[in-house]
Amino acid sequence: MYPVIYDANGTVLSLPPIINGDHSKIKLTTKNVLVECTATDYTKALVTLNTVVAMFSQYCSEPFSVEQVEVQYEHDGAVKLTPEFADHDVEVEVDYINTLTGLKLGKLSLLILQFSWHYIQTLTKSSNNF
């Protein structure tokens, strides 16, 4: 048994793992793209979906704009909106950021950069963490 993804008119958009049918393949004239992801683990599917959608969204006419879709699960009646771009708090050491980026930035420089990226960060009492 495989999941079936329909549009509002009942047209089959995808029958995973059968994808890219004539109706749904991307062409140069494509304006709207439905990114779908199926998996046996909901959390892994959500992380994968969010990542792919975020990457594709840079090419939108309004960059990084996406529309959520309502997913109705037949097995338990649950209804969820995806993708889910919830904020997450992460504490990270300045040294770790510098190691990943190859830079040698101080805490204040990183804080200023994050404000320019529209992240709201706070300094912790620990001398080396955000």
pLDDT (tens, 9 = 90+) of the chain, 130 residues, equals 677 888 889 888 877 766 656 777 788 888 888 888 888 898 999 999 999 999 989 888 888 889 999 998 888 999 999 998 877 777 888 899 899 999 999 888 887 877 776 655 555 555 555 5
Domain boundaries, the chain: 5-82, 87-130
Report the residue count for the chain. Answer: 130
- Rounded CA-CA distance 56/76 in Å is 31
Cross-strand bridge partners of residue 5: 14
The predicted structure's pLDDT at residue 127: 53
The predicted structure's pLDDT at residue 70: 92
Q: Three-class SS of residue 88?
A: coil
The predicted structure's pLDDT at residue 102: 93
- Rounded CA-CA distance 53/66 in Å is 8
The predicted structure's pLDDT at residue 78: 93
The predicted structure's pLDDT at residue 99: 94
The predicted structure's pLDDT at residue 118: 60
Count of beta carbons in the 10 Å neighbourhood of residue 39: 13
- Rounded CA-CA distance 16/3 in Å is 6
